[in-house]
Structure 1
Amino acid sequence: MGSATTPSTDRRATISLFSRLRTGDGQADPFPFYEELRARGAVSPAPWGGLLVTGYSVCEQVLRSGTWLEPDARWREQQGARTRWSAPSSREISHTLPALNPPEHTRVRRSAGTFDRGTIDRIGSRVTHIVDRLLDGVHERIQAGEADFAALVSEELPVATIGDWLRLPSADWPRLRELTHDQVFTQELLPNASQLARSDTAMAELRTYFLSLVRERRRHPGDDPVSHWIATWDQIEPDQDKADEAVYFLALFVLLAALETTSTLLSTMTLRLVEDPGRWTRLLQQPDLVPSFVEESLRHDPPTHVISRIAAQDTFLAGTAVAAGEMVHLMVGAAHRDPERYSRPDVFDPERNPSHLAFSWGIHYCLGAPLARLEAQTLLRHTITRLPRLTLVRRPAQAPRVAFRRLLNLDVALA
């Protein structure tokens, strides 16, 4: 006769599960752990407070609904001075577009503009040139043995694309990439003190860099997004310092969003390509599958595995009471393997062409989604046509994160 599960044992089990997620095995393959979590129901308590959501339909419901908010600056202030939310990097990131709620979110998003068809077409020719140059480097390197595709391409393409668009000096790109990797810990699910300290240091340097950039563009405006944002905010905000601050947060947001998650998408997509020889051949024979291959990569192992939201009012979620101000963690990585949503969810199927939550949904749908898709599709098409077939040399290592996935290497060689 079995014993009933108590809240305390359930809490200990969940803590143990997240501890295992942080191990090398958990980072390499978190999906068995997500399955264990999902077995407790679409919604379950988080040991540190709030709720964990693993069901696809419930995650989608939260993201589409206006009754769920971002953990904005006001909410973070309410959590107290001795919490992760009071860290300088957390306070700073709370002023960027993804952390804003209406009406401020509406105003800032309108000022940012969009990656419309004309903008994407203009950037597209530049992306093609960058991809070809980077793949030349891979081709040269693999002739001597093996190449790290992540270092040579996945890390380079996003920073070159956005750096060129923002007109940032190319000499600054490596440092900006390093700072982006460090700042992401303030957005992680459970950052420790040393990780938050790295984020604080990185964010302070990013603030100095971009405020200096904004002031320089104000003195010498050009035909670039930062100069255009300055002109836009001068019409919105009469206080020049506040206008410059708003432009700084826009430039910061664009850099962070463009680098971290896009580089992970490019690495993960390429991993799916080189780990199975049949996929390379299939794409060569059916190049029209390239867009769906990218979308399936985003579903199968999305760059962001956790999205957090706050209840705007007392409500219920899948029958579970949620108090106003309580946080829910949408476990997108788990939701993308929900068997109630997808048939054979663990199988990578390039013909699936799925809908997914990798770019969020609703008013916070990713502003840069068209650019990320452009980079991924261009890279995939050119990789299979310009390089001899590559094979995976060894399984890549993963950064010790839960929310933000990142491959530390992707070593390939000639098949």
Structure 2
Amino acid sequence: MSDRRAAVSLLSRLRTAQGQADPFPLYAELRSKGPVVLAPWGGFLVTRFDLCDRIVRSGTWLEPDRRWREKQGARTRWSAFSAREIASTLPALNPPDHTRVRRAAGNFDRGTIDQLGHTVTRATDRLLDVLADRLRDGTADFAALVSEELPIAVIGDWLDLPRADWPRLRELTHEQVYTQELLPTASQLARSDVAMAELRDYFLTVVRDRRACLREDPVSRWITTWDAMEPDQDKADEAVYYLSLFVLLAALETSSTLLSTMVLRLVERPERWDLVASCPDLVPAFVEETLRFDPPSHVISRVAAVDCTLEGVDVRADDMVHLMVGAAHRDPARHHDPDRFDPHRKPAHLAFSGGIHYCLGAPLARLEAQTLLRRLVRRLPGLTLVRPPAMAPRVAFRRLLNLDVTLI
């Protein structure tokens, strides 16, 4: 009971403005209570890196899929419309459904990444032009002008979505994410439901329009693929909708956070800027250390497929564990001096999950981050942080609400 009360207190502090700005001392406190801590609402919090790593790679730990959510009851957060919709997207599926959908989705292979690379470069240069122009007035919000714009410019172009729709799609993505939060409030779930309903209508319309006139784009290719797999056209169209929804959500929310966090790390210490400027080959390592130091997502959830024991703690089949990635990344048993940002350290993080659920869009996220970092350092030397950014009121999904910078 004392551990439960301590966990309640700690998680309450995580949801404060101070906890959002710097959750890592709280994560250290959580780690001190052991590798597996009973969560106040049931289930368990896992804080040790090697244990989190083992769970995401193991087939005995499953996603909380639609079947699992239905078992939780009609009056739980898992029955919300947005939660049920998310449960049908690729990251929430378990085999054999996951295997089937991932095969239909295809991969961001070398050819696709090369194709997207041209779009990333053009969009990055255009957005940095806008940033440079705005900086002539003194200060500019890097998050709003670049980090939020680059991912939607790339994925919106790839999916062939009208440019006029991009701002609204970005807003809806930010709203729907609350259904994937660790402790969403009733009002946050309601906002997620509204956003998800609009996203569903939008992408089902896109699928119907593409079916009427197929193009050379991913949505059209997914329609052709699913038609060969699913004789029921309505079911095929819904499967394409879920793929399109997943790609948009995965491409926008965490990628924009990665870009803002990476640039925050760069501009908060002038010596880091000098380091990357003098050694451009360090760019990939800088991105990876950003993903370790403060990943876009701080929590990954899994459920036990069978009764088991975790570090002496009995876990029953269907119990949920929350892998506290933000805490695991600062585990001193895995990383020496883990609270120090060090791009020279050997990369090791869970920012893209692992196992069969390793992030499909990881190559694109890395491409965007590395391209932006290289071109930013070259184009805008002297970029400096004006004030610490404000953070969105979340625990699992990090988001910088602003990143105000200036040139000196």
TM-score, scaled to structure 1: 0.98
How far did residue 353 of structure 1 move?
3.9
User: Is 1:127–2:107 an aligned residue pair?
Assistant: no
Q: Is the 8 A contact 1:138 1:147 kept in 2?
A: yes
Q: Is the 8 A contact 1:265 1:302 kept in 2?
A: yes
Amino acid at match of 1:356: H
Matches of 1:163 and 1:351 in 2, distance apart?
34
For residue 142 of structure 1, the aligned residue among 124, 135, 140 is 135
The unaligned stretches of length 5 or more in structure 1 are 1-6
Matches of 1:214 and 1:387 in 2, distance apart?
41
2:41 maps to what in 1?
48
| Aligned residue-pair number | 408
RMSD: 0.6
1:4 maps to what in 2?
none
Q: Is the 8 A contact 2:298 2:396 kept in 1?
A: yes
Amino acid at match of 1:217: R
1:345 maps to what in 2?
338
Amino acid at match of 1:345: P
The unaligned stretches of length 5 or more in structure 2 are none
399-408 or 351-360, which moves further after superposition?
Answer: 351-360
Amino acid at match of 2:42: G
2:249 maps to what in 1?
256
For residue 212 of structure 1, the aligned residue among 205, 211, 218 is 205
Matches of 1:353 and 1:359 in 2, distance apart?
16
2:68 maps to what in 1?
75
User: Is 1:240–2:233 an aligned residue pair?
Assistant: yes
How far did residue 355 of structure 1 move?
1.5
Matches of 2:165 and 2:27 in 1, distance apart?
39
User: Is 1:397–2:390 an aligned residue pair?
Assistant: yes
Amino acid at match of 2:285: S
How far did residue 388 of structure 1 move?
2.7
Matches of 1:200 and 1:403 in 2, distance apart?
18
2:16 maps to what in 1?
23
2:59 maps to what in 1?
66
1:196 maps to what in 2?
189
2:298 maps to what in 1?
305
How far did residue 320 of structure 1 move?
1.3
Q: Is the 8 A contact 2:3 2:37 kept in 1?
A: no
Q: Where in structure 2 are the equivalents of 1:267-282 lying within 5 Å?
A: 267-282=260-275
User: Is 1:229–2:216 an aligned residue pair?
Assistant: no
How far did residue 143 of structure 1 move?
1.3
Matches of 1:128 and 1:383 in 2, distance apart?
12
Matches of 1:351 and 1:288 in 2, distance apart?
11
For residue 4 of structure 2, the aligned residue among 8, 11, 16 is 11
Q: Is the 8 A contact 1:293 1:353 kept in 2?
A: no
Matches of 1:402 and 1:347 in 2, distance apart?
21
Any idea what the Cα deviations from partners look like across 1:334-378, whole Å, max 9, x if unmatched?
A: 000000000010000011141210000000000000000000000
Amino acid at match of 2:158: W
How far did residue 318 of structure 1 move?
1.8
Identity of aligned residues (%): 73
How far did residue 106 of structure 1 move?
0.1
User: Is 1:296–2:284 an aligned residue pair?
Assistant: no
